[in-house]
Chains A and B, each alone.
Chain A
Amino acid sequence: SYVLTQPPSVSVAPGQTARIACGGNNIGRKSVHWYQQKTGQAPVLVIDYDSVRPSGIPERFSGSNSGNTATLIISRVEAGDEADYYCQVWDSSSDLYVFGGGTKVTVL
């Protein structure tokens, strides 16, 4: 089945930009969605369809998707952005929603 690969962790200083990669074979041909999960809480959708921000999500969150890598970008990082982030696609070959392994973002 389709595999999504994320780095286990990303560290970023406040005010800087965090880039979280999600790798997959020709992922640019798929729609990628991103979730933020803070400790002890349910996931929250922060980006859908590669780069669309749902209502209520700050403009600091953006996304891109091309080739074999999709990227979640968090600009002007704040302490409150510290969380695990997951990418997700639909794998039509296996009829399965696939999640990446998650990336822990630490704000230094």
Chain B
Amino acid sequence: QLQLQESGPGLVKPSETLSLTCTVSGGSISSSSYYWGWIRQAPGKGLEWIGSIFYSGYTYYNPSLKSRVTMSVDTSKNQFSLRLSSVTATDTAIYYCARRGGYSGHDDRGYFDYWGQGTLVTVSS
């Protein structure tokens, strides 16, 4: 059974960089069939996609966050990571990593079928 687990600091100071890692177990991150992604949820709010990455390192990001987001992948450790720079209180959220399944095309990029349990990141001084 595929499992994903987020890890990283639960508290980040304003203007600093949020860094999270997702460890994948029960399957290979190097599968050519899947992308991997980060989604966040502010307290009491809905879901917001942050970005997605392929094992080759190809990425695509939410345009509204693109200037602050960097994602990377480490196939040797079966992990992928998120860095979000210049954080503010509005970046306080539960951050989920997830596997993206389905088609990969211009008009269709599928769904998120496996999710980590999520990790709460609070931005505060």
Contact = CB atoms under 8 A, between A and B. Distances in A.
Interface of A: 30-31, 33, 35, 41-45, 48-49, 54, 86, 88, 90, 92, 94-102
Contact of A31 (B108, B112, B116): B108
A90 B113 contact: no
Interface string B112-125: 11011110000000
Contacts of A49: 102, 111
Contact of A99 (B46, B107, B109, B116): B46
Nearest to A99: B47
A18 B62 CA distance: 32
A102 B46 contact: yes
B108 A95 contact: no
Nearest to B48: A99
Contacts of B48: 99
A92 B103 CA distance: 13
Contacts of A88: 47, 111-112
B98 to A, nearest CB: 8
Given A43-B47, A54-B113, 7 more contacts: A48-B110, A49-B102, A88-B112, A92-B107, A92-B108, A96-B49, A101-B46
A33 B111 contact: yes
Contact of B109 (A44, A48, A97, A102): A97
Interface in B78-92: none
Contact of A90 (B101, B107, B116): B107
B60 A95 contact: yes
Nearest to A102: B46
8 contacts: A42-B116, A48-B101, A86-B46, A88-B112, A90-B107, A90-B110, A96-B62, A98-B49
Contacts of A43: 47, 96, 112, 115
A97 to B, nearest CB: 4
A106 to B, nearest CB: 16
Given A90-B107, A94-B63, A95-B63, A45 B47 contact: no
A8 to B, nearest CB: 11
